[in-house]
Chains A and B, each alone.
Chain A
Amino acid sequence: MESLTTWLKNLLADNSIFTLQTLSFYGEGLANTVQLVFLSLIIGLLLAIPLAIARGSKRAWIRLPIFFYCYVFRGTPLLVQLYLIYYGVVFVEGIQDTWLWVILEEPFVPALIAFTLNTGAYTTEIFRGAIKSTPRGEIEAARAYGMSWSLMLRRIVLPSAFRRALPAYGNEVIFMLHASAIASVVTIMDLTGAARFVYARFYAPFDAFLFVAAIYLCLTFGIIYLFRHLEKRLLAHLKPASG
């Protein structure tokens, strides 16, 4: 560790902007961005699976509210949703006296709620499409085997739907990473927040933003690589046959 810091110090010696201090800002920003994106994706995914199943229900009182949720969250900008939750939460009657206020006071939690609800809506639609395109024959076969609805869902519909949803979900993950830049607007020190700080401190927009753009680019390529790898493994049966 000691040698690493001296090595870094020497490397950064003739550089007035990218000092150890600003780099640690970027590091902190990276941690915040990854945390925010990862948590919202996981919770959003857990939210989306049951919603996607229920979205296809025959009962209108189950189907319509979910349709409405997806429509509203997909039809309005994430920034508006974030403002609504971030500014709005303060004005909920009496919330400042409850234990909830301790966690809601930090901008992190409202941002997490907004991101989760947003990605939840998009993911619901993605899975909805994937479930809908399950071949009819597979469902009939499962029925013919006497599988119950839940067993059929677990063994037949969901596994193949997940695979079909994978490419679209990969895009959603990248979209979420890019959307997380908005968190800097509500004073969260994410990657973009760090870049804004460095820009304001040194008045060096090119250095500050190009550096952070490069980090985002690397993260994006990492996600693309990961999903390509996953698709190769999970969608091997869909590959065109080659000589």
Chain B
Amino acid sequence: MINLHGYGPRLMEGALVTIELAVLSLILAIVLGLATASAKMSRSWALHRFATLYTTVIRGVPDLVLMMLLFFGGQIGINQVTDWLYYQFDIDIFINVNEFVAGVGTIGLIFGAYMGETFRGAFLAVDSGQIEAGRAYGMSHSLVFRRIRFPQMMRHALPGLSNNWMVLLKTTALVSVIGLSDMVKIASEASKATREPFTFMFIVAVIYLLIASVSEWGFARLQKRYDVGFEEVD
């Protein structure tokens, strides 16, 4: 039916790279987002300022420009640091920034800013009486976070989180520009070699739609779980 000219397995490998990249960046973005949200709500002036600067700058600059800055600039920056270490302390190390790490780092960094906004709104939506009650029971800060704040916050954060995930998934296509062999890159190589762009790009589009549909379903189930006690009455 569809002749893939032997590119099928490579395309699947590419799809796997895309999924790995997306999931790892999501984890990094959630961690950064939680940190940013906490920093934005902290009493420390410096932390607040820093978090605001981070979210403003990241959200004001295109993903592709940030990616190129970090990928092309990152290696030079790291080389300068390792050179300095060598001349100053005679420590000889070599760190090579590979495309995958650069991709995860950049996408995580970008979406950390978006997640920060999502989580901040969600944190604020949790009734402060709940936190106080937890403290009154003698729970530690981390236990309050784990048992009270996080489960209630997730209900408010999930719609934003699922939106961010969908955008993040599509952003992963950009790593093909900095040379990572994700499925877009492999499909574009295959299109050029076989002169059949429709076949390959169509398959890639279908795979993206598939991942998006599956995750939409997953998020709907998660939402149901965190909505326990708040279901709409029929």
Contact = CB atoms under 8 A, between A and B. Distances in A.
Given A181-B62, A181-B65, A212-B65, A80 B184 contact: yes
Interface stretch (A16-24, A69-77, A99-107, A127-135): A69-77
A227 B10 CA distance: 45
Contacts, number: 113
Given A209-B65, A210-B69, A88 B188 contact: no
Contact of B195 (A91, A192, A216, A221): A91
Interface in A1-55: none
Interface in A118-139: none
Q: Is chain B's interface secondary structure helix, strand, loop, or mixed overall?
A: helix
Given A76-B205, A88-B198, A216-B62, A182 B174 contact: yes
B65 A78 contact: no
A179 interface: yes
B158 to A, nearest CB: 19
Given A83-B188, A84-B198, A216-B60, A72 B174 contact: no
Contacts of A177: 62
A143 B9 CA distance: 59
A29 B194 CA distance: 32
Interface residues of B, number: 40
Contact of B69 (A91, A182, A206): A206
B201 A80 contact: yes
A122 to B, nearest CB: 11
B170 A77 contact: yes
Interface string B54-90: 0001011111111011001100110000000000000
B29 interface: no
Contact of A216 (B65, B72, B174): B65
Nearest to B216: A75
Given A182-B174, A221-B60, A83 B65 contact: no
A88 B195 CA distance: 9
Nearest to A219: B60
B208 interface: yes
Interface in B181-204: 184, 187-188, 191-192, 195-198, 201-202, 204
Q: Is chain A's interface secondary structure helix, strand, loop, or mixed overall?
A: helix
Given A79-B184, A220-B60, A213 B198 contact: no
A213 B208 contact: no
Contacts of B173: 77-80
B64 A72 contact: no
Interface in A201-243: 205-206, 209-210, 212-213, 216-217, 220-221
B125 interface: no
Given A87-B201, A184-B64, 19 more contacts: A75-B213, A76-B204, A76-B205, A76-B208, A76-B209, A78-B170, A79-B176, A80-B187, A83-B197, A84-B202, A84-B205, A87-B197, A88-B201, A91-B196, A178-B63, A181-B63, A206-B73, A209-B65, A212-B65
